[in-house]
Amino acid sequence: MLLSLNLDKRKEYVISVSGGVDSMVLLDVLYHKKYKLIVVHFNHLVRPNSFQDKNIIQEYCRNKNIIFHYFELNIRGKNFHHQARILRLEKLKKIASKYKTKYLITAHHLDDLSETIFLKILRGSSLLGYSGMKNFCFYNDFILLKPFLYIEKKKIIEYAEKNKIYFLEDYTNKQNIYLRNQLRNQIIPFFKQKYNFLKNIKKFHFQIDEVSNFIRNQTFLFLKEQNIENILSLKKFYHLDIVVQKDIIIYLLEQKKINKNFFLINSIIKGLNNIKKAFIIWKLDQKNILVKQYDHFCIKNQNLEKYENQILKEKKPLLHCSKKKMLISFCSIIQKIYYDENNFFPPFFLRKRKSGDILKFSFGTQKLKNFFINKKVILPQRDNIWLVLDQKKNIIWIPKFYVNHMLGNEYFCYLGLE
């Protein structure tokens, strides 16, 4: 039987075998092609006769001198298939690490691919998701292989009958208690009878895969061009097609294992492209937020409440003034201020910004609001910045942003914040 992948026979492969016809045939094909195999079997403890699967696989491996591992998975609650898949992959990764290999093999075939595409369409997905699954993909530090992905189930059954491969069918696959089973047993058989269904599914898969690969490569190119890791340029982002923009957001969510919500993605794209709003925060999940700040955006690993508190609730510092710098050396930030006697109106005091605040420069005056906009200071930060004023309510100093150089140059003093 032809495989959809040309595998390196020098490597070791961890293969998941259920005991059903698909995985037993794949195991037999790979064995006779002389691949180095490590077999892993999972018992989901759903069927009373599930231990028979173990006996069949273990007997096959014993006769062929193949390494065999067995795990029991006790899964409770909703979304059984999703939980089972996550647990299986984690166990496969551990076994692969034990044998110092990165290759994981499953027996998914063309009929499985058709079911997955149907599920993606019914539930909604990204363009990349609509292609179904790939016969070769990276999974963290591992490579997940599906050598049967473009082979029809009936071909696998024919091989099993011809070569007398012993297997057990999971009778729960015939029970229409899950949506996937309903597709497998009721809907897809109808399309198989009427149309050249699986052939067209394969064509659809390849076409979507080609397009999504091109888009994903544009995403990688954009990310590679960023000067600072994890801080992404909006200027470059604006020049991209919206399809690539969406894939960038999808990829970032995938990397953080965040649910790719259609409405959330559209909201982010709309907000990032809104040049009138320089600062926006999106809550992605309980642990992550996406922040737009003027000319860039990034995902921060903290919850929304903590981020807002960090910005908005800073303790008021103590202001110190001295002729000698050493006397206020304990301050976290110190500024030298020059002045003439007729422009010096202590004591100085601290307050937050107010509407109508003005800054003085050699070229004239500027509204504090416009100054912050030009400096790309986001709105929540503006409300948290302390201003140092004199008794005439002139702004003398804004730590890290502004010093009033219009007071003269005859004398000087030091201001410090503790």
CB distance 393 to 360 below 8 Å: no
Instruction: Tell whether residue 19 is among the known ligand binding residues.
Output: yes
**Three-class SS of residue 151?**
coil
CA–CA gap between residue 230 and residue 395 (Å, rounded): 36
CA–CA gap between residue 71 and residue 74 (Å, rounded): 10
User: Distance between alpha carbon 48 and the CA centroid of its chain, in Å?
Assistant: 39
Instruction: Output the six-digit token pair for 12.
Output: 């070791």
Instruction: Tell whether residue 40 is among the known ligand binding residues.
Output: no
Instruction: Tell whether residue 233 is among the known ligand binding residues.
Output: no
Instruction: Output the six-digit token pair for 88.
Output: 């299986």
Instruction: Tell whether residue 125 is among the known ligand binding residues.
Output: no
- The single residue listed with the structure tokens 């004199």 is 390
Instruction: Tell whether residue 244 is among the known ligand binding residues.
Output: no
Q: Amino acid letter at 12?
A: E
User: Distance between alpha carbon 136 and the CA centroid of its chain, in Å?
Assistant: 20
Buried b or exposed e, range 33-66, using 16+ CB within 10 angstroms: eebbbbbbbbbbeeeeebeebbebbbebbeeeeb
Instruction: Tell whether residue 8 is among the known ligand binding residues.
Output: no
How would you classify the pairing of strands 395-398 and 387-389? Answer: antiparallel
Sign for the CA dihedral angle at 85, 90, 93, 95 comes to negative
User: Distance between alpha carbon 246 and the CA centroid of its chain, in Å?
Assistant: 13
Following CA atoms 153, 156, 157, 161 in sequence, which dihedral angle do they give, to the nearest 10 degrees? Answer: 170
Buried b or exposed e, range 88-119, using 16+ CB within 10 angstroms: bbebbbebbeeeebbbbbbbbbbbbbbbbbbb
Question: Residues within the annotated binding site?
Answer: 18-23
Annotated binding-site members for ATP: 18-23
